[in-house]
Amino acid sequence: MAKKITKSTRKPTRKPGIERYNRIIEAAEGLILEANSLQGITLDAVARRAGVPRVSLYYFFDSIESLLDALYQRGAQKMIASLPQAPRAADWREMMLLYVDGVRDFYLSNRVEMILALLPVSLLSVNQVSRDFGQSLFELLHAQGLVPKTQKVLRACEMTSELADLVWRKSLIEKGTLTPAYTREVKRVVIAYLESVLAD
């Protein structure tokens, strides 16, 4: 059963709180990089690493899951914002290949975000991020007149995002990184899936 999404309980507003919040975030990211996974990341470990009392973490986050979820959501928004503006594409396939390359490049340059996205703590968060990415991809494809503006195509773009991460998750778990072979498989899978939807 999927875990309930937990949210950050408070956002800092004053300078000392903002500084403490940032130390907590940096500590969590450091622990994720060292572990190369989310396994064993605890509030105690984050508090020790950040040099703050554990109660400070509870002031901002009600659980380790809410902290990791906040990092995941933050990383997803960073990824969406960092994807380059796509040039005019001859067809949707060309645009999809550019999109896949952009996401892969982001993951390889941002290991914490890659781990959070491909080894998530909350399936509900994954679903929300897939919706956000799918919407972004759909708007990109539709703005260039490459796909029709339908709910079916929008939903397919959302699922395309999850399919790509599913293949890359296997690459990260088995190979420790995103290999060229798995990236070729991502491209094959997303093109084949979207092609089947558009042909239907």
Each residue of 78-95: pLDDT tens digit?
888 877 676 777 789 988
In tens, the pLDDT along 50-64 reads 999 888 888 888 888
Asked whether the beta carbons of 79 and 132 are under 8 A apart, the reply is no
Inside any domain, residue 10 = no
Q: What is the pLDDT of residues 13-32, one digit of tens each?
A: 677 778 888 899 999 999 99
Domain for residue 33, yes or no? yes
Average pLDDT over residues 134-142: 88
Q: Are residues 83 and 153 in the same domain?
A: yes
Instruction: Work out the average pLDDT over 37-56.
Output: 90
Residue count of the chain: 200
Q: Do 169 and 113 share a structural domain?
A: yes
Question: Which tops the pLDDT comparison, 107 or 17?
Answer: 107
Asked if 188 and 116 sit in the same domain, the reply is yes
Is 4 domain-assigned?
Answer: no
The last residue of one of the domains, among 30, 46, 70, is: 70
Residue 191 belongs to what domain range? 74-199
Half-sphere exposure of 139 (CA within 13 A, CB side): 8
- Indicate the pTM of the whole model: 0.85
pLDDT value of residue 3:
41
Q: Are residues 129 and 184 in the same domain?
A: yes
d(CA 74, CA 77): 5
